[in-house]
Amino acid sequence: MPADPRRYVLKPFYLLTTLLVLTGCGVMHAHTLIDGTPVTGELHWRGPNQNGTSLQTGLPTSAVVEGEGKNLRWTLDVPGRGTAVIAEYEDGPRLFVMGYPGSGAELVEKIYCLNPETGEEIWSREYADFISDIVYNRYTIGAPTVDPETGNVYFQTSQGLAICLDRDGNELWQVSLMETYGKLTFPNGRTGCTTIDGDLAIVNCISTNWGSEGPARNRFYAFDKHTGELVWSSTPGVGPPFLADSSFSTPHIEDRQGYRVFYAGTGCGNLVAVNARTGEPLWRYQMSLGGVNSSPLIYDNGTPDDPSDDLIVQVHGKENVGDSGRGYMMAIRADDALKAAAASDEQIQLDDSYIAWRNNDVNMFTSSPTIVDGVVYQCAMDGRFIAIDAKSGETLWEKKLGASQLHASPLYADGRLYVPYWNDGLFILEPTRTEPGEADVQQTRLSGKCIGTAMAWNGKLYVHSTDRLYCFGNDSGGLAAAKIKPTAAGNTPRPPAALMLQPAEFKLHPGESVSLQETTIDATGRATPAELGKMALEKFIPPTARVKVKLDATIDGRTITTSGANAPSAGAFKATVDGLSGTARGRILPVPPYAFDFEQFDLTLTDTNDSVAYAHPPLPWIGARLKWQVREDPYNPGSKVLAKTLDRVLFQRSTIFLGHADDTGYTIQADVMSDGNRRGGSVVGVVCQRYIIALDLNKNIINITSNPNRIDESEPFKWQAKTWYTIKAKVVANADGSGTVFGKAWLRGEDEPAEWNIATEVPNVHTQGSPGIYGFSPQSRHRVYVDNVKVEPTE
What pLDDT is recorded for position 287? 96
Who's near 701: CB < 8 A, 6+ residues apart?
A: 695, 714, 715, 716, 717
What pLDDT is recorded for position 38? 78
Is the pLDDT at 377 greater than 90? The verdict is yes
What pLDDT is recorded for position 4? 41
What pLDDT is recorded for position 309? 87
The answer to whether the CB of 789 falls within 8 A of the CB of 658 is yes
Least confident range from 95-104, 426-435, 577-586: namely 426-435
Nearest to 185 by CA among 212, 165, 158: 158
What pLDDT is recorded for position 531? 78
In the 8-state DSSP scheme, what is residue 450?
A: B
What pLDDT is recorded for position 650? 77
- Mean pLDDT across the stretch 434-461? 89
Least confident range from 376-380, 431-435, 570-574: namely 431-435
φ, ψ dihedrals at 418, nearest 5°:
-105, 115
Is the pLDDT at 1 greater than 60? The verdict is no
Percent of the chain with pLDDT over 90: 82
The answer to whether the CB of 753 falls within 8 A of the CB of 745 is no
Is the pLDDT at 11 greater than 50? The verdict is no
Quickly state the pLDDT bin for 171 (edges 50, 70, 90). very high
SS3 of 514-575: the string is EECEEEEECCCCCECCCCCCCCEEEEECCCCCCCCCCCCEEEECCEEEECCCCCCEEEEEEE
In the 8-state DSSP scheme, what is residue 241?
A: P
In the 8-state DSSP scheme, what is residue 365?
A: S
- Mean pLDDT across the stretch 448-461? 97
| Sign of the C-alpha dihedral computed for residues 701, 704, 705 and 706 taken in this order | positive
Return d(Cα 213, Cα 210) in angstroms, integer.
5
Least confident range from 209-223, 303-317, 603-617: namely 303-317
Q: Encode pLDDT of 57-72 as tens digits.
A: 999 999 999 999 999 9
Who's near 489: CB < 8 A, 6+ residues apart?
A: none
Q: Encode pLDDT of 526-560 as tens digits.
A: 988 877 788 899 999 999 999 999 999 999 999 99
The answer to whether the CB of 436 falls within 8 A of the CB of 386 is no
Q: Encode pLDDT of 588-624 as tens digits.
A: 999 999 999 999 999 999 999 999 999 999 999 999 9
Query: In this structure, are strands 190-192 and 141-142 parallel, antiparallel, or unpaired?
Result: parallel
Is the pLDDT at 757 greater than 90? The verdict is yes
The answer to whether the CB of 544 falls within 8 A of the CB of 212 is yes
What pLDDT is recorded for position 493? 66
- Mean pLDDT across the stretch 243-267? 91
Query: In this structure, are strands 17-23 and 40-42 parallel, antiparallel, or unpaired?
Result: unpaired
E strands present in 199-335: 200-207, 217-224, 230-234, 252-256, 259-265, 270-275, 281-286, 297-299, 311-319, 326-333
Least confident range from 231-240, 274-283, 472-481: namely 472-481
Least confident range from 26-30, 221-225, 552-556: namely 26-30
Q: Encode pLDDT of 667-702 as tens digits.
A: 999 999 999 987 889 999 999 999 999 999 999 999
Sheet holding 85-89, edge to edge: 40-42, 85-89, 92-99, 109-114, 121-127
What pLDDT is recorded for position 534? 86
If you write DSSP's letter for every residue of 622-652 in order, what string do you get?
BT-TTTEEEEE-TTSTT-EEEEE--S-GGGS
- Mean pLDDT across the stretch 709-714? 94
Is the pLDDT at 489 greater than 60? The verdict is no
The answer to whether the CB of 538 falls within 8 A of the CB of 481 is no
Q: Give the C-alpha distances (Å, rounded to integers) separating 159 from 186, 205, 294, 776, 792.
A: 9, 11, 21, 19, 26
Cβ atoms within 10 Å, residue 664: 15
Higher-confidence position of 528 and 715: 715
Return d(Cα 465, Cα 448) in angstroms, integer.
5
If you write DSSP's letter for every residue of 304-324 in order, what string do you get?
TT-GGG-EEEEEEEEEBSSSS
pTM as predicted = 0.93
- Mean pLDDT across the stretch 220-234? 96
Q: Encode pLDDT of 311-334 as tens digits.
A: 999 999 999 998 999 999 999 999
Least confident range from 3-12, 211-220, 284-293, 485-494: namely 3-12
Least confident range from 427-436, 485-494, 685-694: namely 485-494
The answer to whether the CB of 571 falls within 8 A of the CB of 526 is no
If you write DSSP's letter for every residue of 319-357 in order, what string do you get?
EBSSSS-EEEEEEEEHHHHHHHHHTSSS-EE--GGGEEE
The answer to whether the CB of 466 falls within 8 A of the CB of 79 is yes
Quickly state the pLDDT bin for 5 (edges 50, 70, 90). very low
Is the pLDDT at 373 greater than 60? The verdict is yes
| Sign of the C-alpha dihedral computed for residues 89, 94, 100 and 102 taken in this order | negative
Quickly state the pLDDT bin for 795 (edges 50, 70, 90). confident
Is the pLDDT at 29 greater than 70? The verdict is no
Quickly state the pLDDT bin for 437 (edges 50, 70, 90). low
Q: Encode pLDDT of 385-407 as tens digits.
A: 999 999 999 999 999 999 999 89
